[in-house]
Amino acid sequence: MIIKHSGGRTMAEEILRHDVEDETTLTYEEAVAEAKRCLQCKHKPCVDGCVAHMNIPEMIKKFLEGEGDEARAVAISGNAFPQICGRVCYQEIQCELKCVRNKVNQPVKIGKIERFIGDTYKNPIPKISEPYLGKVAVIGSGPAGLAVVRDLIQENVKVDVFEKKNYFGGVLRYGIPQFRLPNEIVLKQIEELENAGATFNRDQNLSKTFKLADLFERGYDAVFIGVGASADNYLDIQGKTSPKVVSWKKFMEIVNLYDEPMKHTLFSEVTTITCIGGGNVAMDVVRSARRLGMQAHLVYRRTVDRMPARIEEVQEAHEEGVIFHPLRDPFLVNQREDGKIELNCVVTELFVDEQNPRGLIKNTQENETLLCDMVVMAIGSSVRSLHEEGLETDEYHRILVDETQKTSLDSVYAGGDAVTGSLTVIHALKTGKNAARSILDQLRQTK
């Protein structure tokens, strides 16, 4: 039985669902009451705290004046998809951290207000029609690519999206659990863009099924690359190639995209997982595992308070029965004859280090072995090299761009994790909107 509390976490008497949101959207009355707490500060510190510099006071002002659609338009001008950002942004360390009400009691719940506005009001995108302002190819359908599509479509640009997967949405679909961001929320945004005239093409892999040069030969005026950080990171330890050692992406892809994840061949005999990592992705993995009925262990080489994950997610993971093993550093994966996995870890100690605020790790002489059915690596992702396309990249294969998101190639722009490395959704959306502005400038100058 699932019990939902308005504006709060979904509580389960028996088990939490992996495909049901933990929180519900505020009611209108709750949203109004929270919005009235905004002091409409002239210096707008919350805007400074927002990665996208969204005009938060203006959004709240429009909402309280009864202009809900206009309030949503303000949010869209900042981050493109308020119903997504309202759910997944780390407001507590961004806009809400800067709220002046922190000095008195609690900050205005900006994220919850934004989510209500995004879910409740509408800003239909007019369908594009000839003559178009231009024709643009967008490679990748994650947050950066979708932001580009939305802003270009609104200016009557013909946009074709090329996605290497057989589904659309990128990390919004495979990387964020549905108890935080349901698939239907993302799919509705894509459907809206399709209805406005954007075309989405699946199974299109840059450098494998097509080249950048091919797109210009087909008449595109500009290209945006938003392919994300698609290379999995694995600890360089013995046994890492075992079939029972998987990346966080593979794990979450099964959880998010299969109707019955536990019937997948990788999961069919898994009752216990051990996840290596201490960030938000690791929390998504272990919390998803608990919702599937698995026992979930989390191994981290520092102390729990030094984990980079959001404090609230660490607390919720504890509440949901995740077992934490801090001060443990894995060095060996051993698969036994009965199929079980032994994860051997060295016990570590953490010391104060003036050069590193997260502390200095030192190994002790003590080891510990954890037994499980699957090991999940949640230690980040890397960017795959696109150097063969003629793009200038750095030593980590990240695409080099200028302040307009323009790459070293004419009429080619890039954004998201392919440029920044693994960052948040709002960072990706910001680079996408920035690139869209630059592409529009180019198209207008050449008309």
User: Per-residue pLDDT for the chain (447 aa), expressed as one digit of tens each?
Assistant: 233 333 444 444 345 778 888 889 999 999 999 999 999 999 999 999 999 999 999 999 999 999 999 999 999 999 999 999 999 999 999 999 999 999 989 999 999 999 999 999 999 999 999 999 999 999 999 999 999 999 999 999 999 999 999 999 999 999 999 999 999 999 999 999 999 999 999 999 999 999 999 999 999 999 999 999 999 999 999 999 999 999 999 999 999 999 999 999 999 999 999 999 999 999 999 999 999 999 999 999 999 999 999 999 999 999 999 999 999 999 999 999 999 999 999 999 999 988 888 889 999 999 999 999 999 999 999 999 998 899 999 999 999 999 999 999 999 999 999 999 999 999 999 999 999 999 999 999 987
Nearest alpha-carbon partner for 95 in 44, 43, 59, 60: 44
The pLDDT assigned to 15 comes to 53
Rounded Cα distance, 56 and 60, in Å: 6
The pLDDT assigned to 387 comes to 85
- Rg, C-alpha atoms of the chain: 23
The pLDDT assigned to 355 comes to 86
The pLDDT assigned to 3 comes to 32
The pLDDT assigned to 358 comes to 85
In Å, how far are 206, 242, 249, 330, 331 from 238, measured between CA atoms? 33, 9, 21, 10, 7
Helices (H) and strands (E) in the chain, counts: 16, 17
Hey, what's the torsion of the CAs at 430, 436, 441, 446, to 10 degrees?
160
pTM: 0.93
Domains of the chain: 2-120 (1.10.1060.10), 135-230+383-446 (3.50.50.60), 232-377 (3.50.50.60)
Six-digit token string for 277: 């990592």
Please say whether the beta carbons of 441 and 107 come within 8 A.
no
Supply φ then ψ for residue 437, to 5 degrees: -60, -40
In Å, how far are 113, 235, 289, 314, 319 from 32, measured between CA atoms? 8, 48, 36, 30, 31
Please say whether the beta carbons of 221 and 157 come within 8 A.
no
